[in-house]
Chains A and B, each alone.
Chain A
């Protein structure tokens, strides 16, 4: 990768209001440009808001939608990572995030793990993605995770095996109260998880979480950029909207991967062999290996 300045845009999208959210995006893009950022990152479902329920098909966009074109026109001279509901072939509605560069969508990640428990209902309204791939950006290889995806360590692992050096994690994370000494309790939990991810994967992690309220849910913010040693590069406060720029230094990535050669030593063949065995046992599949020839 090359050194890149990444803007974290901690916004409060308006629920179900695409036009208003487009304006919020354009404002933040202008500000990020002024701060000389090469990339600006928005939260999960930044164009639509989160508690959509029956509004999902009403706000879903295919990749040719005129509203996306307006956003992409602004994505020249600066790359943009944003969240939207994708109306994908077969009218599968995905919680998706796109990386746009030079006015074009370079990559779309469809959220794989849709939380459907407690206060979350995503599995009711959305289709799950089934692909996790790294992709090339002008500044180097990257990967995208959406909120719950990051709670499954295999997702970041796959992206980094696939070459990613920067992980963008977009989130609409609701808070669950605040406790003495810890403040808003969900944030230290997220920060520890992301720090560990950065260290385990010796990669940059850029986490952007939204703020604001929907139906009494409150989203916590606390966006943060971490280097491959797990150190904080830039951070935003809890609960209020804001933008900050983190400089992700290519030299730091190289140093971290030299000091902690975890990626070098990762045994892909072993993981593949053991997961193939687990899969075979779990689903009662025929043995993939031919029986040994008798001597």
Chain B
């Protein structure tokens, strides 16, 4: 009889890897905000505080980078915004001791949508997002500040945002963090529990939630995205790992369809040196 060999398992196959080293990640993000703001000669950022987790985390990171006097939080409720959104945003202001401003967008949005005619909920949502952008860029001049973006990687990849609205910013510390990672960092930084626990929502109409809009939970979406995008795994293999085929294919389609939101507008090339193709300078040119 042959001696018995003990069997050892091989390394597990590629799994979605969303784990973060919290201290190092925060240190990179903090350094990013500080360095990229100060190299422009400015010392301040302005950001919209929605009462949600993304803008809360962005504010916490910005305070670590620039101190409370370097962060201006703007609350921009619409008349149908949930009162708890305003309360949660005020909790962030209170916890961080930052400068806060309130700018009601209801009149501007209503005047615009009345003039534009029957806009419907989707267009109304876009109008709100763009009015908020208008307010933030205007306040940024008043405060000698840069507009800090708060879109996370899940939203950016799925195109779940308004171009020239909430997607507009000068710099974005959250753009390479999935929603579940935003949650992890927010928890570590002590973002108020009410914000951590509530279901994410764009709050453009009552009862709206992100996960209803997106048709899947962030946990599932992030794991699919981490495989498709970060690990470069094929959709077929992602499905073979047990994810719903319909969701995987929809995610892939949404990533492709929203590419335009992640790039500058196309320019027709009619010269020897065209912006984007052969006029290629870094954004941090000479700084």
Contacts and interface: CB of A to CB of B under 8 A. Distances in A.
Interface of A: 14-17, 51-55, 175, 177-184, 212-216, 218, 238-239
A54 B27 CA distance: 30
A214 B171 CA distance: 12
Contacts of A52: 282
A175 B29 CA distance: 12
Interface of B: 17, 19-21, 24-25, 27-28, 31-32, 35-36, 171, 176, 279-287
B214 to A, nearest CB: 24
B280 A54 contact: yes
Contact of B285 (A16, A175, A177, A178): A16
Contact of B19 (A14, A54, A180, A239): A180
Given A52-B282, A55-B285, A180 B28 contact: no
A95 to B, nearest CB: 16
B20 A180 contact: yes
24 contacts: A15-B287, A16-B286, A17-B287, A51-B282, A53-B281, A54-B279, A54-B280, A55-B282, A175-B28, A177-B176, A178-B21, A178-B24, A178-B28, A179-B19, A179-B21, A180-B19, A181-B21, A183-B24, A184-B24, A213-B32, A214-B282, A216-B36, A218-B32, A239-B31
A77 B282 CA distance: 37
A16 B39 CA distance: 13
Given A16-B286, A212-B35, 16 more contacts: A14-B287, A16-B287, A53-B280, A54-B279, A177-B20, A177-B25, A178-B21, A178-B25, A179-B19, A180-B20, A181-B21, A182-B21, A184-B24, A214-B284, A215-B282, A238-B24
B175 to A, nearest CB: 8
B282 A53 contact: yes
A179 B286 contact: no
A15 B24 contact: no
Contacts of B176: 177
A183 B28 CA distance: 11
Choose among B20, B28, B279 the residue with the greatest number of A CB atoms under 10 Å from its CB.
B28
Nearest to A184: B24
Chain B at the A interface: SS class: loop
Given A180-B20, A212-B35, A213-B35, A51 B284 contact: yes
Nearest to A16: B286
Given A55-B286, A239-B28, A179 B20 contact: yes
A265 to B, nearest CB: 34
A239 B280 contact: no
Contacts of A53: 280-282
A276 B19 CA distance: 47
Query: What are the 8 tightest A-B residue pairs by CB atom distance, in nearest-first order?
Result: A178-B24, A178-B21, A16-B286, A53-B280, A213-B35, A51-B282, A215-B282, A54-B280
Contacts of A181: 21
Given A54-B279, A213-B36, A239-B24, A15 B31 contact: no
A179 B17 contact: yes
A13 to B, nearest CB: 11
B35 to A, nearest CB: 4
Contacts of A215: 282-284
B69 to A, nearest CB: 22
Contacts of B31: 213, 218, 239
A213 B283 CA distance: 12
A172 to B, nearest CB: 13
A15 B286 contact: yes
Nearest to B281: A54
Contact of B28 (A14, A15, A51, A218): A218
A175 B19 CA distance: 16
Nearest to A51: B282
B280 A180 contact: no
B189 to A, nearest CB: 15
A52 B281 CA distance: 7
Contacts of B284: 15, 51, 213-215
A175 B285 CA distance: 21
Nearest to B32: A213
Nearest to A212: B35
A286 B286 CA distance: 52
B66 to A, nearest CB: 15
